[in-house]
Chain A
Amino acid sequence: MSQAFDIQSRCIDVLEEIVHQHGKLEGRVRIQKIMYLLRRSAPEVLEGVNFYYHHYGPFSPTVVDSVMGALSWRVLDQRVETYGDDIQRYVYSPGPGFAQSAEPLDLPARNAVIRLVDEVKTEHWRTLELAATVDFLEQSDQLPRGEALLRALRLKPACAEYSQPAVALLARLELPPLRDRAIVSGH
């Protein structure tokens, strides 16, 4: 149980660093996908945080819990931004407990966050969604990239126009083949 808390606690610290580097984060999908890509590019930074396939790609309940925890500890603030009649997005920014609760990450972890945020900061959230889903399918179902992309687009037709940047992002990130199968549980 304490291990679960420690994993969540670490996840909150990482989230805090991401917000610090990224600036405000728009959308829950963006958070999930950045955390997934970080878990894949620097597995030790989010050790114990596992992902499975949900409605919109790789998803981790631990990340959801961590967002809840970050709000509860007032490390982050959440507000809803409304666009037009139908569009509502959650926006996350530093809360009053941001500096107070900070447990600075060690240098390698911090550098891993900085590297990843640098790569994804200007990417559209759909690009992150598609890239994460393609990688997830490659790893969980052992699919080659082309096949994983086709399958991901069947699951996420709305991402079609982001295929090129998603593939380019994956090429830049050079995510290693998965050694720890627990990261993606497939179901």
Chain B
Amino acid sequence: MSLVFPGAEHSRFAHSIGAAHVAGLMFDTVVRNTPEAVEQDPDLLLRDREDTILATLLHDVGHGPFSHTLEEIANASQIDFHHEAMTVRILEEQDSDIYAILAEHDLDMPGRLAAFIDKSRRDREAPRWYHSIASSQLDADRLDYLIRDAYLAGIRTHSFDLTRLIGALGVRDREIVVDVRARDIVDSYLLALDHMYASAYYHHTNRAASFLLTAILRRAVDLARATDAARTGLFPPLGRGGLNALWSLFDRGSKLPLRAYQDLDEALVWTHIMVWGHADDPTLSGLVSDLNHRRLPKSLIAPTDKITKPQLKAIQHKANQEFQRSHPGTDPSYFIGLDSPSRKTYTKGSWDDEYAGSIKLCGVDGKPTALEKDPRSLVNVLDERKLYPSIIVPRDMRDFVQSLMKVQP
């Protein structure tokens, strides 16, 4: 993101501290607003509070460097790798430093915190309202990153009244609800989130930069899989026991040794990329050079009301042919690709899923109601928003591909 928004140099660590702080505020407000609906034993209530703050602090601990990019490459290669699985391993496996700290404090704490992450461990008959502070559509994670990202990226219009939103929280029927009088703040929160997706997370240049980074890692993995010599050259033994932590992830997915995963950080990935800039393979070194010099590809939006899916694929096919004509012997898939948005601002629930996961509003009747059932809520407008895919191409092919899109094969 910092390649597009130079101020956005913040780390996941700072975000985790911020999210934990917000989680504490949310918990305390719920207890103050609805004391009758929470744990009555003061010691147990204190334990719930501690669990909530720590689970939020640690909610992202399983993310690797360039989290979603690495996860996407691994999954596209049929490697079982998911950051949530890594978070649970870090919380519960005995050779994890974090497990040791938690278990020394309270032997049952690692298991309790894992239930914040792994929904299959939760008891549907006795849900814990505070789980959703760490993970839900209105959680401390989103409340923190939305404000933090907008501020540091310099996007001033995307804001909402955090204090008033938190002040409207309470518990009904064992789940967190928002006082219906604060519906407008929930709307402005969701609108801010929607705008951040449009203007930052799905910014066309941001997506193009992610494509380039993905292409670099994918090329290195493809070369390493082809021969042992290439693998040793591109992923040399660097860490404990002669392991290369980055290769270990691509090789073993979520089953990589925890020690290796703990060694894997952005500095290590950037070091690999820097070295790959001198690789014998011209595709790999060329891609790294493009990244180093910020020669990012172009992301061209394909309006789905004008171009059908087969037409877009045909455009990609023609672009590949044109690329191969000018770059004989080079695989175009590292340079040309299709991209589609993959996240909604808000996922509406429905009757058949019991509105599980919906944000709930609570009025004077004391009955929680899913936000999307309120016809006045903006969420029903946001749900209609069409998300367009795009085609990513080298800069010098932009005009060619744009002309194809106008012609529509």
Contact = CB atoms under 8 A, between A and B. Distances in A.
Interface of A: 1-9, 12, 27-30, 47-48, 50, 52-56, 61-62, 64-65, 68-69, 71-75, 83, 86-90, 97, 100-101, 103, 125, 137, 140, 154-158, 180-182, 185-187
B353 interface: yes
Which among B210, B313, B388 has the highest number of chain A CB atoms within 10 Å?
B313
Contact of B337 (A1, A47, A55, A158): A1
Interface string B110-129: 00000001111011110000
Contacts of A30: 352
A56 B353 contact: yes
20 contacts: A2-B339, A3-B72, A7-B76, A8-B340, A9-B313, A27-B350, A27-B352, A30-B352, A48-B78, A61-B342, A68-B387, A72-B388, A88-B373, A103-B310, A140-B120, A154-B124, A158-B354, A187-B85, A187-B88, A187-B120
Interface stretch (B178-186, B301-309, B321-329): B301-309
Given A4-B76, A74-B305, 6 more contacts: A5-B389, A28-B353, A48-B76, A54-B357, A56-B356, A73-B308
Contacts of A155: 120, 122, 124
Nearest to B114: A187
A4 B356 CA distance: 27
B337 A101 contact: no
B337 A157 contact: no
B28 interface: no
B340 A65 contact: yes
B279 to A, nearest CB: 22
Contacts of B344: 64, 68
A5 B79 CA distance: 17
Contacts of A181: 80
A44 to B, nearest CB: 11
A120 to B, nearest CB: 15
Contact of B84 (A55, A125, A187): A187
A5 B76 contact: no
A165 B91 CA distance: 38
A182 B347 contact: no
A12 B388 CA distance: 15
B382 to A, nearest CB: 12
Contacts of B336: 2
Which among B88, B118, B309 has the highest number of chain A CB atoms within 10 Å?
B309
Given A1-B339, A90-B350, A187 B82 contact: yes
Which among A7, A9, A27, A89 has the highest number of chain B CB atoms within 10 Å?
A9
A2 B336 CA distance: 8
A187 B116 CA distance: 11
A125 B339 contact: no
B35 to A, nearest CB: 27
B75 interface: yes
B124 A73 contact: no
B167 interface: no
B283 interface: no
Nearest to A102: B310
Contact of B79 (A1, A3, A75, A182): A182
Contacts of B386: 71-72
Given A65-B340, A101-B308, A52 B82 contact: yes
A82 to B, nearest CB: 9
A55 B72 contact: no
B333 to A, nearest CB: 6
B309 A55 contact: no
Contact of A55 (B76, B85, B119, B305): B119
